């Protein structure tokens, strides 16, 4: 990957380097054609561990098959800006580790991290009682260690962020659970892998607070009929109830051991 | 915690023994640690222990896990006490430099992102990260752990360029040792696809099926071992300092040891005038901090090398 310019703050390699080109593209044995390991409405198992980052006020590590990310919450701490704000500020920053994607990600910030930050911010911001933290900022940092599709990163990122906020003891209206779905032909599948998402007609990501049965964020892209989109949302919402109990359980078992 | 509580603690070091206050002991200790870190550490060392319960020369537990990241060509996760570092190797193909057509590239970098500690801010690499990257590069290049000539695909045409990126997830001191261990472990786990250079198209083709491990110089597997010196009433030499101890050190010593116990480099950063109480610790002339560091580093390196196998 061509490096934009010489960066004197890092160790630099050659001016240009390219990811390897592989011979005969494996016949795409239609990896997405049928799921062998799970049903269409099943999600991959979630491993969620709050409190791994000891330096942070709250943290969570989440792993769903090949999506792995760590999230840390710092705050509430004093806002840097001089203007007075009655409500607290929630700041979400997502960073990809350079080795997290199939192509190496040069460490310069690109647009993808931002769009992910915005999506995760929207998913969790309405669950946090920001009116209780005047003049302060809550920083949520997410590092993606391994990426298996942006949809999975947004969903897992929202779950991890919500768990980390709870771990930090920040008051919230409810825990946020999030799930993604794709439409492939006439099938609807939850929690798609990267291959499935690339082959799909459209993608829906839903973030909600199952305890209050309210939706905090919906993200839809691709070409979907209104009925399909609604069906996806319903399926996601149902599954979020299960995810919610996973988060709640990991938080309470972490509390017991701590 | 109230302002009054803070003030009552400020006078404490002068007053000597703690007077009973209405708060719990744990909270008082925490406030004391925040306000008087030097005195806090000093009192522990006077008893011959460190705040985390270790003896001065004791190291933290190390855990190494390799190959857990499928998007990287090689990866390792290292936990050294609280310090957690993930390292991934990504291989790309580049043209060699004109003056060295038979040398590949290795590009080690460490990132200390805002996620790992409240003292780091988001944005470009901090000075600390830049210095660390430079030291890691120095250790990997000077040890010749991976001869760059083994990365050649076709002389003068195409070579492998290995990006060795380490990311700190949790920063609890001594990132150099942890990062070097993670990088060496990740290199040991790295496999490259079999590549052939086609002169007619001047392109390189890689095989999907065949992957070969790097030809590492196993006798040159380097590990870093860091020590810190503290002055105060009980000058001590602390092995593997934590993030609480690091800012209180008067000088640090980093030793890099290879697989056969040979010393690759020694680096000492002394600040201020303290000689780590060397005269008190080592009254015999001709001995000093370094003389006690080197054997300790060699002993410890044997344990780390076992982890790398």
ipTM: 0.90
B243:A55 CB<8 A: yes
In a domain? residue A28: no
Ranges of beta strands (E only) in chain B are 62-66, 74-80, 83-94, 105-111, 152-154, 158-170, 191-198, 203-213, 223-230, 236-239, 251-257, 263-270
pLDDT of residue B7: 44
In a domain? residue A21: no
**A147 reaches B (C-beta below 8 A):** yes
In a domain? residue A77: yes
Q: Which residues contact B213 (CB under 8 A, 6 or more apart)?
A: B190, B191, B192
In a domain? residue A197: yes
Chain-centroid distance of CA B6 in Å reads 35
B71:A72 CB<8 A: no
Tokens of B298: 């060699």
A98:B165 CB<8 A: yes
Domain ranges of chain B: 62-217
For residue B248, pLDDT beyond 50: yes
Nearest to A1 among B70, B92, B111 (CB): B92
CATH C-level class of B62-217: alpha beta
Inter-CA distances, B229 with A205, B25, B46, B175, Å: 53, 29, 14, 17
A9: closest chain B residue by CA: B130
**A112 reaches B (C-beta below 8 A):** no
In a domain? residue A146: yes
Residue scoring higher pLDDT (A182 or B287)? A182
**B174 reaches A (C-beta below 8 A):** no
Q: Count of domains in chain A?
A: 1
Question: What SS3 class is residue B219?
Answer: helix
Please give the full DSSP string across A39-51, using - where no structure is assigned. Answer: -TT--PPEEEEET
B105: closest chain A residue by CA: A13
Per the DSSP assignment, residues forming a β-bridge with B160 are B93
A57: closest chain B residue by CA: B118
B116:A9 CB<8 A: no
For residue B273, pLDDT beyond 60: no
Measure B196 CA to nearest chain A CA, in Å: 10
The strand pair at A67-78 and A136-146 is best described as: antiparallel
In a domain? residue A31: no
pLDDT of residue B284: 46
CATH number of the domain encompassing residue A224: 3.30.230.70
Distance of alpha carbon B255 from alpha carbon B263, whole angstroms: 7
Q: What is the residue range of A195's domain?
A: 46-249
Q: What is the pLDDT of residues B184-241, one digit of tens each?
A: 999 999 999 999 999 998 889 998 889 999 999 989 999 999 999 888 888 888 999 9
Which of B115, B132, B156, B161 has the most A C-beta neighbours within 10 Å, making it the best mutation to test the interface with A? B115
| pLDDT lower than 50: segments of chain A | 1-3
**B169 reaches A (C-beta below 8 A):** yes
**A21 reaches B (C-beta below 8 A):** yes
**A229 reaches B (C-beta below 8 A):** no
């Amino acid at each position: 990957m061509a490096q934009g310019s010489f960066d004197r703050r890092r160790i630099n390699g050659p001016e240009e380097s390219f990811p390897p080109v592989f011979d005969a593209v494996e016949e795409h044995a239609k990896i997405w054609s049928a799921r062998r390991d799970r049903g269409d409405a099943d999600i991959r198992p979630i491993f969620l561990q709050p409190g791994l980052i000891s330096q942070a006020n709250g943290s969570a590590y989440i792993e769903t098959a090949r999506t792995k990310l760590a999230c840390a919450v710092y705050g509430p701490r004093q806002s840097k800006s001089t203007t007075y704000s009655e409500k607290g500020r929630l700041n979400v920053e997502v960073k990809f580790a350079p080795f997290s994607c199939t192509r190496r990600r040069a460490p310069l910030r690109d647009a993808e991290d931002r769009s992910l930050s915005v999506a995760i911010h929207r998913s969790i911001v309405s669950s946090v009682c920001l009116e209780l933290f005047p003049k302060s900022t809550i920083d949520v940092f997410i590092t993606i260690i391994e990426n298996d599709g942006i949809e999975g990163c947004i969903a897992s990122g929202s779950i991890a962020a919500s768990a980390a906020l709870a771990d930090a003891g920040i008051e919230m209206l409810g825990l946020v659970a999030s799930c993604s779905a794709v439409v492939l032909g006439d099938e609807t599948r939850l929690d798609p892998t990267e291959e499935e998402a690339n082959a799909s007609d459209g993608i829906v990501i839903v973030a909600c607070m199952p305890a209050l049965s309210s939706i905090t964020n919906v993200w839809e892209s691709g070409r979907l009929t209104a009925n399909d989109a609604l069906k996806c949302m319903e399926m996601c919402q149902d599954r979020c109830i299960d995810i919610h109990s996973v988060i709640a359980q990991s938080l309470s078992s972490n509390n017991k051991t701590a | 915690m109230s302002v009054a509580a803070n003030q009552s603690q400020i006078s404490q070091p002068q007053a000597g023994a703690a007077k009973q206050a209405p708060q719990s002991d744990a909270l008082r200790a925490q406030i004391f640690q925040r306000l008087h870190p030097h005195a806090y550490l000093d009192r522990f060392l006077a008893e011959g222990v460190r705040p985390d319960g270790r003896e001065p020369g004791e190291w933290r537990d190390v855990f190494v896990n390799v190959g857990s990241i499928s998007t990287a060509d090689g990866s390792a996760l290292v936990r050294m006490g609280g310090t957690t570092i993930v390292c991934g190797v990504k291989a790309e193909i580049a043209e060699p430099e004109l003056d060295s057509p038979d040398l590949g590239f290795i590009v080690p970098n460490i990132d200390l992102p805002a996620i790992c500690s409240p003292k780091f801010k988001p944005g470009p690499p901090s000075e600390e990260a830049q210095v660390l990257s430079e030291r890691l590069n120095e250790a990997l290049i000077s040890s010749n752990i991976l001869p760059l000539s083994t990365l050649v695909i076709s002389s003068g045409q195409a070579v492998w360029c290995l990006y060795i990126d380490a990311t700190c997830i949790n920063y609890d001191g001594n990132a150099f040792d942890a990062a070097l261990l993670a990088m060496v472990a990740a290199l040991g786990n790295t496999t490259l696809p079999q590549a052939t250079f086609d002169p007619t198209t001047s392109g390189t083709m890689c095989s999907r099926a065949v992957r070969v491990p790097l030809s590492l110089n196993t006798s040159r597997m380097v590990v870093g071992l860091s020590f810190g010196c503290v002055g105060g009433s009980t000058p001590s030499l602390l092995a593997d300092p934590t993030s609480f101890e690091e800012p209180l050190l008067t000088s640090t010593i980093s030793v890099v040891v290879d697989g056969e116990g040979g010393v690759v480099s020694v680096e000492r950063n002394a600040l201020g005038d303290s000689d780590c109480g060397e005269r008190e610790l080592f009254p015999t002339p001709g001995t000093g901090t370094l003389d006690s560091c080197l054997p300790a580093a060699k002993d410890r390196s044997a344990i780390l090398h076992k982890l790398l196998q």
